[in-house]
């Protein structure tokens, strides 16, 4: 006669515990699906004739990769595809300075946005450049890259500043500072981190 109440109590306890247990695929806390879904993709596109801009690009990718939830994709302008650009939440473009402006392959990459009817609205943008001298046109090159982004409805982010603000990261690759210094690579890392953090924040 006592079996029925015991069975009833067991059944009630079972359904209560079953109700408290998460369904398959649903998790709580930092490891939950909501946290897992909060990811951002940062695309770094560059052209490099001598390898200096590539060094900066890799540092940018390194900085972006430091941000939890950020996925990075590093490609040259010759390798990048429409799908790469469309799937990116952040887009960072790098170019060497050619006559105080971006290199022709980078300009062609940007000009193709219109022909491909790409929707870049609200993507986070950043830019970096390498130039042979102190006044070789690094800032004007970065400005031209950022203006192209603004023209396409992107949100431009500057780097994480140490002291004075700059529009983007850059490197002097000839005298008096040949090559790319660690200081300049750190600027590139900060730029990547800044864009990744902002892209992740806007996505959340």
CA max distance for the chain: 97
Q: Write down the domain spans for the chain.
A: 40-203
Please give the CATH topology (third level) of the domain spanning 40-203.
Answer: Rossmann fold (3.40.50)
Give all strands (DSSP E) within the chain, no chain letters: 40-46, 70-76, 90-98, 101-102, 124-131, 155-156, 169-172
Q: For 132, left (φ over 0), alpha (ψ -120 to 50), or beta?
A: alpha
Task: Give tens-digit pLDDT for 134-156.
Answer: 777 889 999 999 999 999 999 99
Give me the residues of the chain with pLDDT under 70, please. Answer: 1-37, 159-168, 170-177
Taking alpha carbons only, the member of 200, 173, 174, 170 closest to residue 188 is: 170
Can you give the pLDDT at residue 203?
Answer: 87
User: What is the DSSP secondary structure assignment for residue 154, as one 8-state letter?
Assistant: P
Mean pLDDT over the full length of the chain: 83
Can you give the pLDDT at residue 26?
Answer: 34
Can you give the pLDDT at residue 171?
Answer: 63
Can you give the pLDDT at residue 54?
Answer: 98
Can you give the pLDDT at residue 20?
Answer: 39
């Amino acid at each position: 006669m006592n079996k029925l109440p015991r069975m009833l109590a067991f059944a009630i306890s079972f359904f209560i515990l079953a109700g408290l247990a998460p369904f398959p695929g649903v998790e709580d806390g930092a490891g939950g699906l909501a946290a897992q879904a909060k990811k951002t993709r940062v695309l770094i596109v560059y052209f490099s004739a001598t390898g200096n801009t590539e060094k900066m690009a890799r540092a940018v990718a390194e900085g972006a990769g430091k941000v939890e939830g950020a996925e990075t994709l590093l490609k040259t302008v010759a390798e990048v595809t429409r799908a790469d650009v469309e799937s990116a939440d952040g887009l960072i473009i790098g170019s060497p300075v050619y006559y105080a402006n971006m290199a022709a392959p980078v300009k062609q990459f940007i000009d193709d946005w219109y022909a491909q009817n790409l929707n870049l609205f609200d993507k986070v943008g950043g830019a970096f450049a390498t130039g042979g001298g102190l006044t070789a046109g690094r800032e004007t090159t970065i400005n031209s890259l950022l203006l192209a982004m603004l023209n396409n409805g992107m949100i431009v982010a500057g780097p994480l500043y140490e002291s004075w603000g700059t529009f983007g990261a850059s490197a002097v690759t000839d005298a008096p500072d040949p090559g790319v210094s660690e200081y300049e690579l750190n600027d590139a890392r900060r730029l990547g981190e800044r864009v990744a953090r902002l892209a992740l924040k806007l996505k959340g």
